[in-house]
């Protein structure tokens, strides 16, 4: 057996997603081999994240302030709301530089298989702000749970704000995608959502 403290750290690493016994062991031993300063900084960073970072009161994205940078940015188009599953998706979209509106982070997707219900998600605050928007772009993943969540939100938003335009991100072949490698669903969508050239 490893010493107790090392065993505790291995257990802690196992709480991370996709980390099994072997990987946790490797990580814990790597911490052992780190400079004391690096390891202390690591522990400190973990502490600080829980202390300082929380959800933006408007959109649910992560921030150290009351509102996130994007919600506080008056140069952005606050009438266009891009609805995503997680803060990672905000970052991915921001990297493209193509979107100038604001975001709404659901913090999950409705999932019957994993027992995630609408009330577990950040939906109430979307309903509150949706009335001021012109367009709400549902950009949840194109997976089963993502589609379910999009359909649920579409219905909800349509009932409450019939005048707000609700759209769904396009679903088709990815860039560089090859037809013979695409799955049936993707191909079917690529066909049904085809558009006129030029």
For a copy of itself, the binding residue among 72, 88, 134, 160 (CB under 8 A) is 88
In terms of CB distance, is 82 or 130 closer to a copy of itself? 82
**What tokens were used for 72?**
């506080």
Identify the bridge partners of residue 103 per DSSP, sorted by sequence position.
82
For a copy of itself, the binding residue among 59, 60, 80, 87 (CB under 8 A) is 87
Q: What sign results for the dihedral spanned by CA atoms 63, 122, 167, 140?
A: positive
In terms of CB distance, is 50 or 195 closer to a copy of itself? 50
72 lies in the site for a copy of itself, by CB under 8 A: no
Q: Is 71 left (phi over 0), alpha (psi -120 to 50) or beta?
A: alpha
- Contact segment (CB under 8 A) with a copy of itself among 1-9, 77-85, 98-106, 120-128 equals 1-9
Pattern 120-139, a copy of itself, x by CB under 8 A: --------------------
User: Site residues for a copy of itself, window 31-70 (CB under 8 A)?
Assistant: 31-32, 34, 36, 38-53, 62-64, 69
Minimum distance of a copy of itself from residue 128's CB (angstroms) = 23
CA pair distance 81, 68, nearest whole angstrom: 14
75 lies in the site for a copy of itself, by CB under 8 A: no
**What tokens were used for 22?**
């072997």
Q: What's the angle, vertex CA 64, arms to CA 97 and CA 19, rounded to 5? A: 80
Are the C-beta atoms of 138 and 167 separated by less than 8 Å? yes
20 lies in the site for a copy of itself, by CB under 8 A: no
26 lies in the site for a copy of itself, by CB under 8 A: yes
Q: What sign results for the dihedral spanned by CA atoms 143, 191, 165, 156?
A: negative
28 lies in the site for a copy of itself, by CB under 8 A: yes
Are the C-beta atoms of 39 and 49 separated by less than 8 Å? no
In terms of CB distance, is 36 or 74 closer to a copy of itself? 36
**H/E element holding 150?**
helix 144-160
**What tokens were used for 178?**
């090859």
Residues contributing to the site for a copy of itself (CB under 8 A):
1-6, 8-9, 11-13, 15-18, 25-32, 34, 36, 38-53, 62-64, 69, 86-88, 91
């Amino acid at each position: 057996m490893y010493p107790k403290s090392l065993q505790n750290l291995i257990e802690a690493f196992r709480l991370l997603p996709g980390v099994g016994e072997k990987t946790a062991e490797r990580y814990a031993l790597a911490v052992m081999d780190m400079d004391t300063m690096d390891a202390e900084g690591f522990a400190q960073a973990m502490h600080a994240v829980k202390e300082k970072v929380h959800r933006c009161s408007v959109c649910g994205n992560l921030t150290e302030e009351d509102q996130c940078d994007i919600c506080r940015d008056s140069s952005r188009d606050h009438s266009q709301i891009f609805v995503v599953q997680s803060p990672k998706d905000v970052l991915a979209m921001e990297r493209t530089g193509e979107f100038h509106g604001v975001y709404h982070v659901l913090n999950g997707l409705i999932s019957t298989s994993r027992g995630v219900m609408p009330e577990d998600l950040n939906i109430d605050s979307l309903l509150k702000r949706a009335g001021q928007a012109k367009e709400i772009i549902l950009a949840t993943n194109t997976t089963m749970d993502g589609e379910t969540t999009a359909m649920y939100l579409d219905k909800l938003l349509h009932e409450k704000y019939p005048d707000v335009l609700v759209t769904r991100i396009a679903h088709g072949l990815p860039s560089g995608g090859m037809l013979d490698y695409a799955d049936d669903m993707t191909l079917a969508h690529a066909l049904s959502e085809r558009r006129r050239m030029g």
